[in-house]
Structure 1
Amino acid sequence: MTSPQLPHLATALRNPRYLVSEWPWRALGYLVSTAPIAGVLSVGLLLVGAPLLAAVNAVRQHGRPIPLPLALFLTLGTLALVGFAPIVSAAVAAVERWRLGLVDPRPLPARRWSGVAERYTSASAWREVAYLVWLGGVVPVVYWVYLLLVLIDILVVTSPWLAGDADQVIVLWDIVDRPGEAVPYAIVGVLLLPVLWYGLGVIAAVQGAVARWLLGSSPDIVELREVTRSRARLVDAYEAERRRIERDLHDAAQPRLTSLTLQLGLARLDVPEDSPAARPLAVAHDQAKGLMIMLRQIVHGIRPQSLTDLNLAGAVRELADEAAVPVTVHADLDRPVPENVETTAWYVVSESLNNVTRHASATRAEVRLTQAGDRLVVEVSDDGRGGADPARGTGLTGLADRVSAAGGRLLLASPPGGPTLVRVELPCHR
């Protein structure tokens, strides 16, 4: 289930009318505005990187030791780069997030300044430093190569006019003396102009994708791990509390209500039909029976008794037998499934079959239960009209939330006209 996204350069590149749209000019503006920032950063990297490479090359080729002043300069320069990079990256990242709107207007969360110490301890800050290295080390090289290709193409296009001079002109790998000899090369050069114009967009799209990847919000690994563990603890606690409520209702309230219903039934037999108490007693008896049915449904909604009695495969087959359309069940479960996963899988099948009955106009459905590695895979398909949309209140959003709480994921394929396939993958760690 995906929400509609704003158009951006990466999607515009797939449009046949890309070359005559505004996107190539936006890409050009993005790259031109990148040049001064990348140039300044590359100078900073070269101040330390170039002497370092030269020193390493001298040691490797001639075996000379690095002079002490040079070693001291390299050490201090490296420490300065590493020390100031997290601070500089904060300002550069803020500018880059703003500039990214030229080629990718999708919102990119901004990071708040949380103090100097946080700049040296958070993973997000060091991802911004990595973007600084990319911007100052890789981007200039790509720009120079692209500029060289553009200059070569310009030379090829203008070669017929240059060949009219007294001197010989070298066009690619050939030497031309007359304009006529250069015309075929000029034609190829003109044909390559749209390719270079398109390549400009590819470079901008790749740069924007790297910026979004490195500058986007990324929780620290430790925090993300703790969130995952806390969610697992909450799910386990919820399941334990749900089982306790089910046990109390099933073992305490339900037997007493059943006994009350029997006593009222016996009392009805002892009271004459013409007695004033006969009618109120009959109403109370019917209400008790209705309440017993309701309580049974509540207990069934907490954890289906069929799961306890028949396990997952049997409970799903019971759902299939009760469905309004013919349902075929294929179950290949060779290992036990954790209880909370069983419950989630049962609800997936139950809600999916309800959707088939109410919304799909299907004539048949199929349920598959398989185990792939340490995951339980549940697939529910039907031959209905398709077009399932979570926004229309078909229960898919709540189902996706339930699956996500169990650590799984839900995939939906439902093109207009059908068929519809709901696939759920649930982890089975015991």
Structure 2
Amino acid sequence: MGDVWGELRRPGFLRSATPWRAAGYLLVSGAAGVLLCAGLLVAAVAAGVLAVVLVGLPLLAGLALVGVPFAAWERRLVRLLDGTRVADPHQLPSRPGLSAWLRLRYREQATWRELGFTVLAAFVLWPVDLVVVGCALVVPAYLLAALPLLLADGEQVNVLKLWEVHSPAVAGAFGIVGLVALTLFAYPLTAVAAGRAALVRLVLSPGGQELRIGELVSSRARLVDAFEAERRRIERDLHDGAQQRLVALSMTLGLARLDAPPDSALAAQLAVAHREAGEALSELRELINGIHPQVLTDRGLPDACADAADRSPIRVEVRFDLPGRLPSAVESAGYFAVSEALANVAKHSGAGTARIDGHYADGLLTIDVSDDGGGGADPAGGTGLTGLADRVSVVDGTLTVSSPPGGPTLLRVEIPCTPLSPTRSG
């Protein structure tokens, strides 16, 4: 299978399967068009009658989406002709659920192109499809059957309901004409099928803007995955390399202090070096934890946020209600949003307590970080909120802050996602 227009110009075209595929394509598309036409007429009449009592309005709104499944069928049907795939122009909803799917479909240009093509197929294309198939196959078949029918009847045969034939010789001549017609009609039949397939590709495949959107979404997803993989690699290298060396250095300095003469200058210098090594090790552990904490990888977002709360200088209450583990990029964005929010609370709010609430509903992860501080948080004030919003937006999330002067402050992160497992965690 390949380019149908190229097949038409090849010497072996009549011996190939292309004419028969073209006939099958037009026959199936024509039959589908008949059913579609009948269904649309019935649905439109029913919606118009019921619209008087407002019941038909949802049906009318639903008719606008009839092109979505029919266009999907047409894109698959094209493969019957030449084996090539027509890409789906639709985007995936940012969150699961019927409401998100409907909102996206009504906003997409592809939906309205598909509706226009569906109307065209229902009232214009199917008669053309069936007429072409009828002329290319049915008429030659009648001519070819003239001689067998005459021999079976023994007296006469009506060819195409136009000619009465009594002579086997004349009936045989009609059969020869039918064979020639079948051969000649293969070319226009295939050309019409190729033109119809080209129309499907023109109208129902992604446009330039849709292709660019799809490429941007795919590129961003690849960048997020690559960034997460690189961050984990750095965390692993620091944990297994530099941290282990610092631990060994700290132990060696501790042993050297035991061997040094007490109250000597050497003992004092070793004590300073031992303390510096310990501080460097603590800073490295904090750095590793900031890159990607191991608890986030091993146990998920609730435990990682609880660990961040335990390290906060103020009292923090943590409560999560999640249906299971979430995608790693979502967990990472949620964790660092919480960590940055807790850092802001400790540094700028003057709060005594804070609270972290996380839950998942209708395809949306929501995390609220609130405190009883003085409020007045300003993204332009250098508190890291702008960078935090950028980090969350990478995973299609949003960040909102409510922080009136005098408090309290509420930071909310919302990220659309789908759980990876059904295990409860809280």
Q: TM-score, with normalisation over the residues of structure 1?
A: 0.46
- Which structure is higher in RCO with an 8 Å CA cutoff and minimum separation 6? 2
TM-score (norm 2): 0.47
